[in-house]
Amino acid sequence: MSKRAYNFNAGPAAVPLEVLQRAQAEFVDYHGTGMSIMEMSHRGAVYEEVHNEAQSRLLGLFGNPEGYKVLFLQGGASTQFAMLPMNLLTEGKSAGYVKTGSWANKAIAEAKLIGDTFVAASSEEDQYKSVPDLSNLQLPENTAYLHVTSNETIEGTQFSSFPDTGSVPLVVDMSSDILSRSFNLKDFGLIYAGAQKNLGPSGVTVVIAREELIQNSPKHIPTVLRYDTHTKNNSLYNTPPSFSIYMVNQVLKWIEEQGSLEGIEAKNREKAKLLYHTIDNSGGFYRGFANPDSRSIMNVTFRLQSEELEKQFVKASEQEGFVGLKGHRSVGGLRASIYNAVSYDHIKALVDFMGEFQKKNG
């Protein structure tokens, strides 16, 4: 095998090498069927076993709490921005949103097209360099749900904890940090996440929800956009992204092998600590974007003294085999996305490169 890249892409992102190798071994002939998993009918017993196993394995990582359902949908988190209020923002209700950056803003914009919304908290005045304190939120009685974006990939901020919303369902977009750390699923009404960062390849979106929230969708919305359609049909109402779901199942197996969520979290914090230490101890050559108390352990955003120097950094890094270190086009700067599949050794290689670059350009 040729040398693999140091992959710091924000998404689609790195997939564990062990998972890729297992998928490669089964790609042409899955378990003696003479077919690839992507060639099979989604109505067949072989594929349904994979489908159901992935659902069960995902809930198992959270301790199998009662009353929760896993859906495999399509359209990415961007479709959930609309599907969520279509299903839960009913007449007479208002949806609360926490405004923390680029992805939260997209979710708010879609919800406003559907029904009444309000901003429950915001870090806009801080240029989205932090996440707001949600410990003392006062939500109106008619609040349909409170929506939080747990991790902003573009700004590099992340909530370290989540509010107790009482009887109001807490809904969280976890696209960029799902399964990166431990949490109690019972604290949430609904979680959704595109798979292409920590769960597998692009093509499938995971929704984990309390069953009562997704059992009775409004009758006036299109059938394929109703949560209850997919709940009643075990996410097999239409042809699912079967190969992507197979890959999710393989990634979930790999997470179990890493010590489940506790083991993954310990590794992620160790990786982030090393990278942030390098930034903070560079004498100002590298400058972190997010406030220290709101820093993401998934997306590390930083700047140099000038855009020209940042361009030099990106060019030099690419020559050394590093991929994806250019910041998002909307904000510029630099960003290292260090999702579950990015190894500590790759972080070490990055900080060594950063040290050499500083020596040459500092």
Spot the catalytic one: 69, 99, 197, 271: 197
**Options 103, 254, 271, 326, the catalytic residue:** 103
Spatial neighbors of 128 by CB under 8 A, at least 6 apart, are: 100, 101, 102, 152, 155, 157
* Direct distance between the N- and C-terminal alpha carbons of the chain, in angstroms, rounded to an integer: 36
Q: How far apart are CA 79 and CA 169, in angstroms?
A: 20
Q: Say if strands 157-158 and 151-152 run parallel, antiparallel, or are unpaired.
A: antiparallel
The residue annotated as part of the active site, out of 173, 177, 271, 326, is: 173
Rounded to whole angstroms, how far apart are CA atoms 337 and 291? Answer: 17
Give catalytic status of residue 197 as yes or no. yes
Angstrom distance (rounded) from CA 80 to CA 74: 9
- Catalytic status, residue 293: no
* Known catalytic membership, residue 103: yes
Residue 96: φ, ψ to 5°: -95, 135
Q: 302 - beta bridge partners?
A: 288, 334
Angle made by CA atoms 150, 152, 157, in degrees to the nearest 5 = 85
Report strand pairing: 190-194 vs 205-210.
antiparallel
> 310-328: buried (b, 16+ CB within 10 Å) or exposed (e) per residue?
beebbebbeeeebebbbbb
Cβ atoms < 10 Å from Cβ of 110: 19
Residues involved in catalysis: 103, 173, 197
